A and B are shown apart, each in its own frame.
Chain A
Amino acid sequence: MQVYSEADTRFRAEVRAFIAEALPAEMARKARSGVALNREDYFGWQRILAEQGWLTPTWPAEHGGCGWTPIQQHIFEVESHLAGAPRIIPFGIKMVGPVIIHFGNEAQKAAYLPGIREATTWWCQGFSEPGAGSDLASLRTRAERDGDHYVINGQKTWTTYAQYADMIFFLARTKPDAPRKQEGISFFVARMDTPGITVRPITTLDGGHEINETFFEDVRIPAENLIGEENKGWSYAKFLLSNERAGIARVGEVRELIRDLHDMTESQPVGNGSLLDDPAFLRRVTSAEIDALAHEVTTLRLLSREQESGRPNPLTSVLKIRGSEVLGRLAELQMEVEGPLAACFRPSPAGDPELPQALLRPALKTGRYLNYRKFGIFGGTTEIQKNILAKTVLDLKG
Chain B
Amino acid sequence: MEQEFIYQAKQGDTAAYESLVRQHQEAVFRLACLLLGDAGDAEDAAQETFIRAFRSLSTFDSTRPFRPWLLSITANVARNRRRSIGRYFAALQRLVIITPRETGNAESESIQQWEAKTLWKAVQTLNVIDQEVIYLRYFMELSVSETAEILKVEQGTVKSRLSRALSRLREVIRQDFPLLYEGRQA
A, B co-complexed: no
Which residues does B use to contact A, with CB under 8 Å? none
Which residues does A use to contact B, with CB under 8 Å? none
